[in-house]
A and B are shown apart, each in its own frame.
Chain A
């Protein structure tokens, strides 16, 4: 598969950044014009129904961003929509059709769901929360909102909803155009966002939340902000809906409506934006036309289609269209690779005398099983310390304690003098720690270049509107790419890479963080001799040349002997030896441990 891909690295012409924004803008402009004219040719029934369909399509865009891109399956967008609609109806009932009334209604319809979104986000996302838990919360929210509406008495109209409030002075065609404009704008912004570098971060969250955190990004904050922002958009849709329909009812906020949104997005094609938009409009329009004649049969068909699509075609109808499209010889275009440039590393603030890593009396137990006990360790700039020991000695557990302060351990771990107890991985990365996992942890559906760009995000930020033409990486990361040939493979998605290439990519990502301390868990496992030598060379250059400290878990003693400046031996959870290469490799103890004599 790989060899057929073009070596895009430095050969492709520089991509024009403006195109990322220009193409969607042109399409959006055309769509807006077509929709502006549409009321003139459509009958009143169609205009009415399509107005509602387009408002629902705005919601579908928000569900798609959350579920299709960021991987958060949500039923809660209905609740935010309902809150926006009810806020509008209640304020307009109280204040009437005054400019102040509309301004207050619009502001509240956006602000109230956004605030609720912040609360829901805070509840849904925390360190080690599961995707299922977020879905559970998104189920509870609409149920709570609906019950509050029932409990609201006259102010919310209880089960019969609110009707007869003043609305914006627009004709039917005017509402159609307003809804169309909002839909086009929301879709355009979403489209530009998902094509931009920042949009890649959403996909990265879906692919591998842990890696995001270990790149120093704060997954929790991103998810909460996304939830709040899209709640605000849903609230805006609610404002439009309340005005256009003149009625709000508890069903508008309900869990069943939330599931309908998910069904539309799934049928249209999650993760494609246009699929859900067109799918929602088509299904809602068809429903309005068909459900009068065959109400149950329509639901039955929709339900059946939904089940079949979920099982057989998870990408929805858009995926089917996309596959047909790709068969045609036109329009095939891979994303151009960015230009790699070397970035001058920030000067080292070395020589403060504080050790980069200081571990004091560290211990960790799983219940009655003690995994680590009485570990004391100090590592200074420029050292390459290898951590060796038989399987089950506690090496990986030690690495975890060094990089995740929320692990329950006793004792003290300090990075550059700062205690890490209680800190989440992303904050420890902020202290200058980079961790490479035993099994390569990269973003499977992103390209190599995107993975590297995300690694630079804490330093350089991510553009929310376009794709940067260049990718600035520290020289050491560039060296890793050049030596492993990855610099010619910047565009293919990483899931197509070989095992060794993924290991090299992850190493390059960690190096791109410009850490002061780099933790490597068996970086050479499963690699060829040549690849191993390459990684050894890179590590030596990083530590002796750039003054980075490194901790390396490794089984291959020959490799360890070649590159280490110091060796630490772990055995049954205790640190049994700490010394120079010669002293440790020559010791009787190491030989006994590795030949299995020292157990028990």
Chain B
């Protein structure tokens, strides 16, 4: 039972962390290595909120707005010149991540920051005492997933985004302002990443390099999901389960590389990953 809850909540957290990266990869076909920096920025929004004495939950909208604003700037000045050079875009966003990390360090120092827990305590569920926050995170993941799905399937932006994913040239010739779609999607992706940063604060320590450790996992999940949010959810469940099971029964160290290694093998066998199923 405990294992099931661990798997579900781990998958939920992975989904929260990687959905922003997926949105950007799907539409812009660019791996955003600044993703880790957006996570960090979000977490520091929680730090700032706490310092201002506000309700910890106020960090969520703040992080989304800050992330989206920074994302907009990054898209305009860094991503746009590199549309035709996707491998270089990986490098430039990685460089951006370094810059953001150092700016955070200059502003807040490199020590670990403490943040108030968003939701403390444990809940008795089906006979086990379980961390209340992890269960809340599960709910939030479902909510984010649902909102994301509604945006993609039911809104004009979602329609444009799907058009760009399928055939950007055609979408442009049909009068869709693809540059705008890219900008908006990048802002949403960065905003979601910052949001994820806030949601991570009760689970990990907050320091200027916290984002990097989450980046690779999110990146591998997105590679396997290949621009489909349903495939991402499936990948989070499968690889989250693998991570939990290997950590519990074999060794935590092997568990920590489970996602990266399994995802690489899946891609080797089926280059389209989970999206084909």
Q: Mark B77-94, 1 if CB is under 8 A from A, else 0.
A: 010011001111011101
Which residues of A in the span 127-153 have a Cβ within 8 Å of any Cβ on B?
Answer: 128-133, 135-137, 139-140, 143-144, 147, 150-151
Contact A147 B254 (CB under 8 A): yes
Tell me whether A128 and B78 are in contact in the complex, defined as CB-CB below 8 angstroms, given that A151-B253, A296-B106 are known contacts.
no
Chain B residue with the shortest CB-CB distance to A71: B87
Contact A310 B95 (CB under 8 A): yes
Tell me whether A130 and B257 are in contact in the complex, defined as CB-CB below 8 angstroms, given that A139-B216, A311-B78 are known contacts.
no
* Bound-complex Cα distance A310 to B85 (A): 10
Nearest CB on A from B122, distance (A): 30
Is A483's CB within 8 Å of the partner chain B? Answer: no
Tell me whether A300 and B260 are in contact in the complex, defined as CB-CB below 8 angstroms, given that A307-B92, A310-B95 are known contacts.
no
Which residues of A in the span 260-290 have a Cβ within 8 Å of any Cβ on B?
Answer: 262-263, 266
Hey, which chain B residues are within 8 Å of A303, CB to CB? 95-99, 102
* Bound-complex Cα distance A130 to B82 (A): 19
Nearest CB on A from B43, distance (A): 18
Is B271's CB within 8 Å of the partner chain A? Answer: yes
Hey, which chain A residues are within 8 Å of B91, CB to CB? 73, 262-263, 266, 306, 310
Chain A residue with the shortest CB-CB distance to B96: A307
Nearest CB on B from A275, distance (A): 16
Nearest CB on B from A86, distance (A): 16
Chain A residue with the shortest CB-CB distance to B255: A147
Which residues of B in the span 35-66 have a Cβ within 8 Å of any Cβ on A?
Answer: none
Contact B99 A307 (CB under 8 A): yes
Cβ 8 A contact of B78, one of A123, A266, A307: A307
Chain A residue with the shortest CB-CB distance to B267: A133
Is A458's CB within 8 Å of the partner chain B? Answer: no
* Bound-complex Cα distance A256 to B216 (A): 11
Could you say which of B91, B254, B260 has the most chain A C-beta atoms within 10 Å of its C-beta? B91
Chain A interface size band reads: 35 or more
* Bound-complex Cα distance A314 to B98 (A): 19
Cβ 8 A contact of A126, one of B105, B257, B260, B268: B268
Contact A310 B88 (CB under 8 A): yes
Hey, which chain B residues are within 8 Å of A73, CB to CB? 87, 90-91
Q: Mark A298-329, 1 if CB is under 8 A from B, else 0.
A: 01101110110011101000000000000000
Hey, which chain A residues are within 8 Å of B271, CB to CB? 128-130, 133
Cβ 8 A contact of B92, one of A144, A297, A311: A311
* Bound-complex Cα distance A130 to B90 (A): 15
Nearest CB on A from B252, distance (A): 9
Which residues of B in the span 212-270 have a Cβ within 8 Å of any Cβ on A?
Answer: 212, 216, 219-220, 223, 251, 253-254, 256-257, 260-261, 264, 267-268
Nearest CB on B from A29, distance (A): 35
Hey, which chain B residues are within 8 Å of A150, CB to CB? 253
Q: Mark A106-131, 1 if CB is under 8 A from B, else 0.
A: 00000000000000000100101111
Is A259's CB within 8 Å of the partner chain B? Answer: yes
Tell me whether A255 and B268 are in contact in the complex, defined as CB-CB below 8 angstroms, given that A150-B253, A306-B91, A310-B92 are known contacts.
no
* Bound-complex Cα distance A126 to B269 (A): 10
Is B103's CB within 8 Å of the partner chain A? Answer: yes
Nearest CB on A from B277, distance (A): 15
Contact B264 A137 (CB under 8 A): yes
Hey, which chain A residues are within 8 Å of B268, CB to CB? 123, 126, 133
* Bound-complex Cα distance A144 to B257 (A): 6
Contact B264 A299 (CB under 8 A): no
* Bound-complex Cα distance A136 to B33 (A): 12
Could you say which of B85, B253, B261 has the most chain A C-beta atoms within 10 Å of its C-beta? B253
Hey, which chain A residues are within 8 Å of B219, CB to CB? 136, 139
Cβ 8 A contact of B256, one of A140, A147, A263, A304: A147
* Bound-complex Cα distance A128 to B271 (A): 9
Contact B223 A135 (CB under 8 A): no
Cβ 8 A contact of B223, one of A128, A136, A143, A144: A136
* Bound-complex Cα distance A81 to B87 (A): 23
Chain A residue with the shortest CB-CB distance to B217: A143
* Bound-complex Cα distance A143 to B96 (A): 21
* Bound-complex Cα distance A126 to B264 (A): 14
Contact B94 A259 (CB under 8 A): yes
Which residues of A in the span 482-510 have a Cβ within 8 Å of any Cβ on B?
Answer: none
Nearest CB on A from B24, distance (A): 15
Contact A151 B98 (CB under 8 A): no
Contact B95 A263 (CB under 8 A): yes
Contact B260 A302 (CB under 8 A): no
10 residue pairs A–B, Cβ–Cβ below 8 Å: A129-B271, A136-B223, A144-B261, A262-B91, A263-B91, A296-B110, A299-B98, A300-B102, A303-B99, A307-B96
Q: Known pairs A300-B98, A303-B96, A314-B88. 13 more at Cβ < 8 A?
A: A123-B264, A126-B268, A130-B271, A133-B268, A135-B87, A136-B219, A139-B260, A140-B260, A147-B253, A151-B254, A255-B216, A303-B99, A311-B92
Which 5 A/B pairs are nearest by Cβ-Cβ distance? A303-B98, A307-B95, A306-B95, A300-B102, A303-B99
